[in-house]
A and B are shown apart, each in its own frame.
Chain A
Amino acid sequence: DTGVSQDPRHKITKRGQNVTFRCDPISEHNRLYWYRQTLGQGPEFLTYFQNEAQLEKSRLLSDRFSAERPKGSFSTLEIQRTEQGDSAMYLCASSLGWGTGNEQFFGPGTRLTVL
């Protein structure tokens, strides 16, 4: 399978715990995006990487959230001191380029439940 993969698919945690999610983009894609989706809503942009550089962050990304893409390949999204409001589907997407080459392909998502 050469699509975007995410791990884990599901995560249940207690409030106050830290969680980390991983995204493996399509291999030749240099752009990587994180989005968050809550029930009944469309995905909302969180952050964007061009290779290893994090070039844009949404105001939704509070200080408790941090994302990395250390070698320009896989990415991690960490949430510290989770809150119940963090419960959502976290989606990763990757794309090859910009303009007409910027079709974003999404992974299956990580569903986070904070108890």
Chain B
Amino acid sequence: SQELEQSPQSLIVQEGKNLTINCTSSKTLYGLYWYKQKYGEGLIFLMMLQKGGEEKSHEKITAKLDEKKQQSSLHITASQPSHAGIYLCGAVFLYTQGGSEKLVFGKGTKLTVNP
């Protein structure tokens, strides 16, 4: 079963509209990362959240991690065509000092922003 569930799978919005993407885990996670990917390209790091209740913003994108550290949301305000792409959440589930802290990813949310 998928350890990280992202919703929605795809999203089409009109330019200027706000939107939210969700990432849910059945287990408590150690760290939650958000990345953006253009088709056929690598991942661009957006934000990392570690503390329950933490919220970070960069330009028009805000990411939050709930108090239980099992759910995160990514909110884009006043979307622009440049926001289009695939948004991926990745989680570190196991933390041991010296461990790999490998990321487990959701399947991604494909965002289309129509001008």
Contacts and interface: CB of A to CB of B under 8 A. Distances in A.
B102 A45 contact: yes
A100 B50 contact: yes
Given A42-B107, A42-B108, A103-B33, A48 B102 contact: yes
Most chain B beta-carbon contacts within 10 A, residue among A6, A106, A111: A106
Interface stretch (B11-19, B41-49, B58-66, B73-81): B41-49
B88 interface: yes
Interface string B80-102: 00000000101010010111111
A31 B101 CA distance: 10
Interface of B: 4, 31, 33, 35, 40-45, 48, 50, 88, 90, 92, 95, 97-108
B45 A40 contact: no
23 contacts: A6-B42, A41-B107, A41-B108, A42-B4, A42-B88, A43-B103, A44-B105, A45-B103, A55-B100, A56-B102, A91-B42, A95-B101, A98-B97, A98-B99, A99-B101, A100-B50, A102-B31, A103-B33, A104-B45, A104-B90, A106-B43, A106-B44, A111-B40
Nearest to B35: A106
A72 B101 CA distance: 18
Most chain A beta-carbon contacts within 10 A, residue among B95, B99, B100: B100
Contacts, number: 72
Contacts of B97: 98
A104 B88 contact: no
A109 B41 contact: yes
A interface, how many residues as a size bin? 20 to 34
Contact of A48 (B31, B92, B100): B100
Query: Majority SS of interface residues in chain A?
Result: strand
A105 B45 contact: yes
Interface in A1-49: 4, 6, 31, 33, 35, 40-45, 48
Nearest to A92: B42
A43 B33 CA distance: 13
